[in-house]
Every structure is written in C-alpha cells, then in structure tokens.
Amino acid sequence: MSLVLVTREALVPADSLRRSANRAGAHLEHLLHRRFTAGELPRLRVLVEECAAWAGLSETRRGDFVLAVDEIASNAIEHAGGTGSLLLRRVGDELECRISDSGPGFSEDVIPQILPGLDGATSGRGLWLTRLVTDRLVISAGAMGAVVTLAMRLR
C-alpha cells in the first residue's frame, strides 16, 4: 500500500487520494492543501518535500522546488497579511503548487530580469529565483489577493 501526505498531516492510502481529470484530460492528484502562517513555514517545507518525493520529483529538483515554494509562501506572509493557502497537486507529468493570499496582489512585471541587487533592486529575489528554478510560474489575481502557481516536470 502506498502512502501520501494529505491535509492536516494525515497519512492516507494513495488509493483514497482525490483524483480527477482537468478539462484537458490531465490526471490530477491532490497531495496537500492547507492554510499557513509564519510559524508553520518549517513544517510546510517538510510536508512539501515529502509530497514531492512521493510524487516522484527527483532529489536534485526537489530541493529547488521546496526552495521556490518557501520563497512564495514567505512572500505571502510578508506582503499579504501574514497568512496564505497552499494547494499541492500532481497534474499529469508536473508537480504543481498554487499559493494564494489576501494581499494587494501583484503582476509578473515586478519580477526583476536580472539578479536583484545587481540592478539596484532591493526586493524580488524570491520571485526571480522561483522563475529561474521552476518549469512554470504564473501569477494571477485571485478572488482576493494574488495566486502564484509554480510547477516542475516530474521527468
């Protein structure tokens, strides 16, 4: 029996995961869904790493993925009222993380083109790094605040 982490840190059989198909027919598996605050970031990193390992993300890429998720979650805490929501799922051949917050929102235009600091920028390093290490980064408006979706191919 395979096990995977799902909400509230409960281990459940993989057979009971929420599975569905999106409009394009890609297989979806919801791995982790939870709200977080600053105090929960260390545990959130562990949970994301465990789920990424279970989903099959290689060890080398897994560290980059966890770093990117941590940067975006930290931004939600720092710039959007101290809380956020994370949804981690396997979508076809990708591991996708969607982080939403209730802050003022922002667009991809704020991501520096070169390493922040070299161009005089004092912020944006986490977004720049996330764009650099992930295969997909999308920033959009949510019902309230921003929704940042980042993904890495599993193969």
Show me where the domains of the chain are located. 31-153
pTM of the predicted protein model: 0.79
Whether 25 has a pLDDT exceeding 60, the answer reads no
DSSP label at 111?
S
Domain 31-153 has CATH 3.10.20.30: no
Whether 128 has a pLDDT exceeding 80, the answer reads yes
Closest C-alpha to 139, from 102, 98, 91: 98
Q: What mean pLDDT do residues 109-126 have? A: 65
Whether 3 has a pLDDT exceeding 50, the answer reads no
Q: What mean pLDDT do residues 18-31 have? A: 65
* CB neighbour list of residue 87: distance below 8 Å, 6 or more residues apart: 30, 32, 33, 97, 98, 99, 100
- Contact at 8 Å (CB) between 36 and 4? no
